[in-house]
Amino acid sequence: MNLPNRLTVARFFLTLGFVAALSVPWRFGNTVALALFIVGSVTDYADGYIARRRGLVTDFGKLMDPLVDKIMITGAFICLTPDIPAWAVVVIISREFLITGLRLLAASKGTVLPAEALGKHKTGWQIATVIFFLLIPALREFNGLGVPSALLDQVQARLGNPLIGVALGLTLYSGIGYLWKNRELLKTQ
């Protein structure tokens, strides 16, 4: 298994650790989750960069990298449902399942559908949204590092919804575009 594919597999295990850190209440769980999510996000960038730069692109990577991305993102949004509206989480997860289903359909027909640039931008905004919603409780674990709790509440209230809006908009736009571009796969024979 080459380095980019090992990074993809490592991101899967980082996701399990991230979800566990948020699921088991302990004093610095949010901080650990934030750190694991950031490391996982960096591996998302690194695996693709290394694969393209060194000519290590494989069918495994084309299929598993986007799948592990979806596992990481959906796990994060599910864990953040108390802070992010459930309907927004359902929209994001639904898009991810639909695209995964389309990729599986393509694979059954001998075609591998790689991630597209717009999907990468969507993922970037989703990652930024998750990091934002993890950062606020992580700061609270350190008593705000001198930042008043009321200010943290205001920052979350003012920046959280716009971030969710951008992530949702790109999620819908990229999903519809991806389905449209690959609509031939959906036609029955």
pLDDT tens digits for 86-103? Answer: 999 999 999 999 998 898
pLDDT of residue 188: 62
pLDDT tens digits for 108-120? Answer: 888 878 778 888 8
The percent of residues in the chain predicted with pLDDT above 90, rounded, is: 65
Burial category of 59 from C-beta neighbours within 10 Å (exposed 0-12, middle 13-18, buried 19 and up): exposed
pLDDT at 137 over 80: yes
pLDDT of residue 189: 45
pLDDT of residue 67: 85
Domain boundaries, the chain: 3-186
Provide the pLDDT confidence category of residue 81 given band limits of 50, 70 and 90. Answer: very high
Q: What CA–CA distance (Å, rounded) separates 4 from 23?
A: 29
pLDDT tens digits for 151-184? Answer: 899 999 999 999 999 999 999 999 999 999 998 8
Q: What CA–CA distance (Å, rounded) separates 92 from 187?
A: 25
Topology (CATH level 3) of domain 3-186: Four Helix Bundle (Hemerythrin (Met), subunit A) (1.20.120)
Place of tokens 């993890």: 134
Average pLDDT taken over every residue of the chain: 91
**Across residues 22-46, what is the average pLDDT?**
94
